[in-house]
Amino acid sequence: MCGISGAEGKDSEKLVKKMLEAVKHRGPDSSGIHSTGDITFGNVLLKITGDKSQPIHNNGTLTYNGEIYNFKEIAEKLGITTDSDTEALFNLIESKGVEAAIKELDGDYAFAYTEEGKIHLARDPVGVKPLYYGSNGALFAFASEKKAIFSIGIREISALKSGHMLSYSGGSVIEKKVMEFRVGERISDEGEASGAIFNTIERAVKKRLYNPCAIAFSGGLDSSLIAAFCPSAELYSVGMKGSHDILQTEKAASLLGFGDKLHLHELTIEEVESALPDVIKAIESTDPLKVSIAMPLFFASKDAHENGIRVMLSGQGADELFAGYKRYESMNPDELEKALRNDLDNIAANNLERDDAATMSNAVELRVPYLDKEVVELALRIAPELKVRAGVRKYILRLAAGRLLPRELAWKEKKAAQYSSGIYTALEKLAKKNGYRDERFLGRYLEHLSSAF
């Protein structure tokens, strides 16, 4: 896991060094840059898989952020020996070209590769790993976080779309989709569907395991199923004292038999107030919902980092794949299927970029098993009638989870994260305390805080 940046233009090396400074929290272990003419790539490294320094270069140059879970198979096909997914990716690109290489990847990634004066950017099919780019005419730049590009004076910034590749050369930008999810034969039998879900999610969780590993644990269905698949992981839960999440996680951990693995952080309103500027800066947003959802992840990853943990698993994506939100209940099957696909297509901008920024601000890599390519493609095949049945949301996922979880956890409804943690209410109280009496002005209070840095 890393922070990446790069630029083409005058003084590119100086500018990339400045961008790396803005994202140094993403890679505390080392940093590097490499220049070819007016093009410079940079990287700050958080060592997870292998020990290969970046950018890596030979005929071309690569800077990369993410995890390629099939890198050993790729290396074997290429006839190389390596413990580094970066090295495997680089050799695959050098051997087959960027677009052909992308089609062989199983993982979550954002990378840039340059050769013969052309820059290529690529992002994984769901958009788990962030990548932004911008230009002011004389300068083209990209980075893992928008703040890095802002730091060198570029204001018009775009996120590379999920599953897309961008090619830049001579001031021209060409962006195209290069990865699609395969949609196979419809699955309408609940026995077949629940069995396939159970096995596929188990594989997705286990390929993402790392030692030591943490789970962002809310005590709900999604995080409880992940926890049950990896009993060696530590569970991190954050909420206001006495909140639903604090009570639920204690109960859920006990039901799972993992009470000794649970790390509870009961926030005070003073802690929330103190952390607000850091959270807003990390996620680059003053949206009250985004801030209230990011806050628990920020503290959970901070606590995990202080305990020497670099990888955290999250249940993000289960709601969008298996119909977890309350608004899905009233939809007919066709409406539900369209809504779920739309939410999946927009999950990067709505959720993933926020979550990545919150955890990586503490140098912790967030992994999301429910958004594994195999899980996504399976979910797209499952009939919408199995996702909401008789008013029960995530029906088929609950049925699958019931093979492993206690019934109370598999079938329990859970409140929305921003409310169950008690943090949204805490933000409203802080806004009122600081003179923003009307709840409609919560956003203005957060904007005022953001102007302080």
- The CATH number of whichever domain residue 133 belongs to comes to 3.60.20.10
In a domain, 182, yes or no: no
pLDDT band per the 50, 70, 90 thresholds, residue 169: very high
Note the pLDDT of residue 298.
Answer: 98
Beta bridge partners of 113: 62, 120
Note the pLDDT of residue 437.
Answer: 80
Start-to-end CA span in the chain (Å): 27
pLDDT band per the 50, 70, 90 thresholds, residue 453: very low
Say yes or no to pLDDT of 100 above 70: yes
State phi, psi for 238 to the nearest 5 degrees: -135, 135
Cα-Cα-Cα-Cα dihedral sign, residues 19, 21, 25, 27 = positive
Distance CA 60, CA 13 (A): 17
269-298 pLDDT tens trace: 999 999 999 999 999 999 999 999 999 999
Say yes or no to pLDDT of 49 above 80: no
Q: Is 89 in a helix, a strand, or coil? A: helix
In a domain, 77, yes or no: yes
Q: Which of 177, 211, 226 is the last residue of a domain?
A: 177
Say yes or no to pLDDT of 32 above 70: yes
Say yes or no to pLDDT of 452 above 90: no
Note the pLDDT of residue 1.
Answer: 63
Structural domain harbouring 325 = 190-439
As a whole number, mean pLDDT of residues 171-198 equals: 96
Q: Are residues 218 and 330 in the same domain?
A: yes
DSSP 8-state secondary structure symbol assigned to residue 352? I
Q: Are residues 164 and 305 in the same domain?
A: no
Q: Are residues 337 and 403 in the same domain?
A: yes
Catalytic positions = 2
Question: Radius of gyration of the chain from Cα atoms?
Answer: 22
Beta-carbon contacts of 405 under 8 Å, excluding residues fewer than 6 positions away, are 221, 224, 225, 228, 256
- Of residues 449 and 376, more confidently modeled: 376
363-419 pLDDT tens trace: 999 999 999 999 999 999 999 999 999 999 999 999 999 999 999 999 988 766 667
Considering only 59-73, 98-112, 418-432, which range has the smallest mean pLDDT?
418-432
* Model pTM score: 0.95
Q: Which of 151, 177, 203 is the last residue of a domain?
A: 177
Distance CA 92, CA 347 (A): 28
Please tell me the total count of domains within the chain: 2
Task: List the structure tokens of 393.
Answer: 């949301």
CB-facing half-sphere around the CA of 54: CA atoms within 13 A: 34
Say yes or no to pLDDT of 21 above 50: yes
Q: Are residues 74 and 209 in the same domain?
A: no
Q: Which of 133, 152, 177 is the last residue of a domain?
A: 177
Beta bridge partners of 382: 187
In a domain, 185, yes or no: no
348-357 pLDDT tens trace: 999 999 999 9
Note the pLDDT of residue 413.
Answer: 80
Chain centroid to Cα 158, Å, comes to 18
Q: Are residues 218 and 293 in the same domain?
A: yes
Q: Are residues 124 and 202 in the same domain?
A: no
In a domain, 126, yes or no: yes
Pairing of strands 214-216, 234-240: parallel
Q: Are residues 243 and 160 in the same domain?
A: no
322-354 pLDDT tens trace: 999 999 999 999 999 999 999 999 999 999 999
Q: Are residues 235 and 166 in the same domain?
A: no
Share of the chain above pLDDT 70, in %: 98
Considering only 50-64, 185-199, 265-279, which range has the smallest mean pLDDT?
50-64
- The CATH number of whichever domain residue 405 belongs to comes to 3.40.50.620
Q: Are residues 113 and 72 in the same domain?
A: yes
